[in-house]
Amino acid sequence: MMRELYTQVIMDHYKKPRNHGEIENPDIEEHLLNPLCGDEVTVYAKFEDDKVSEASFTGRGCSISQASASMMTERLLGKSRREVEAQIKSFKAMMTGDEEFPEEDELAALKGVIQYPSRIRCATLSWDAFSRGLNGG
């Protein structure tokens, strides 16, 4: 059962987070705290020609929150503001079970989290932060 939650993909992103660190002069810098547990994340992004040219994150948290943030930065790279918004909305719908995880999508590694309601917020924390940053906080 734990293998369904702690998938290889999640553990890989957790142990080797992609795009971890700050970005200088970012267009988005948004800090968000999970009041339930105290975990925190800050997401950074830069836009060029309305497309995400750089995205990164810092923070401390559990494997789910850190892996999800890492995957998010990779996923949003190169997307327009409109595409970013659609992707965040779609991801959040997947995490509430309102939308299916596409097969063969890396994000489907987070599917197991749905079985643990108290952990869903861990997975959505960085995505919420990005969304807030996009909409001016």
Partner 1 sequence: MYDVKEIRDDFPILSREVNGKPLVYLDNAATSQKPRRVLDKLAEYYELHNANPHRGVHRLAEEATMMFEESREKVAGFIGAEDSRSVIFTRGTTESINLVAYAWGRRNLREGDEVVLTESEHHSNLVPWQLAARDTGAKLRFIPIRDDGTLDMDEAEKLIGENTKLVSCIHASNVLGTVNPVEALAEMAHANDALMMVDGAQSGPHLPVDVASLGCDFFAASGHKMLGPTGVGFLWGRPEVLDSMEPFLGGGEMIREVHLDHSTWNDLPHKFEAGTMNVAQVVGLGAAVDYLNALGMENIREHEKKLGEYAYRRLSDMEGITIYGPSEDRTGVVSFALPDVHPHDISQLLDEEGVAIRSGHHCCQPLMRRLGVAATARASFYLYNTEEEVDLLMDAIQKAREFFGAFAS
CB of 6 to partner 1, least distance (A): 7
Token readout for 13 is: 């992103």
CB of 116 to partner 1, least distance (A): 7
Q: Which residue from 58, 63, 87, 90 is in contact with partner 1, where contact means CB under 8 A?
A: 63
Name which of residues 29 to 48 contact partner 1 (CB under 8 A): 36-40
Work out the angle at residue 14's Cα, subtended by the Cα atoms of residues 13 and 20, and round it to the nearest 5 degrees: 75
C-beta of 2 vs 49, nearer to partner 1? 2
C-beta of 40 vs 85, nearer to partner 1? 40
CB of 41 to partner 1, least distance (A): 10
Query: Helices 8-15 and 63-76 sit at what angle, rounded to 10 degrees?
Result: 90
The residues, any chain, with a CB within 8 Å of residue 61's CB and separated by 6 or more, are: 34, 37, 39, 40, 41, 69, 122, 125
Rule CB under 8 A: is residue 94 a binding residue for partner 1?
no
DSSP for 78-126 reads T-BHHHHHHHHHHHHHHHTTSSPPPTT-GGGGGGGGGG-HHHHHHHHHH
C-beta of 54 vs 106, nearer to partner 1? 106
Interface residues with partner 1 (CB under 8 A) are: 1-2, 5-6, 8, 11-12, 15-16, 36-40, 60-64, 116, 119, 122
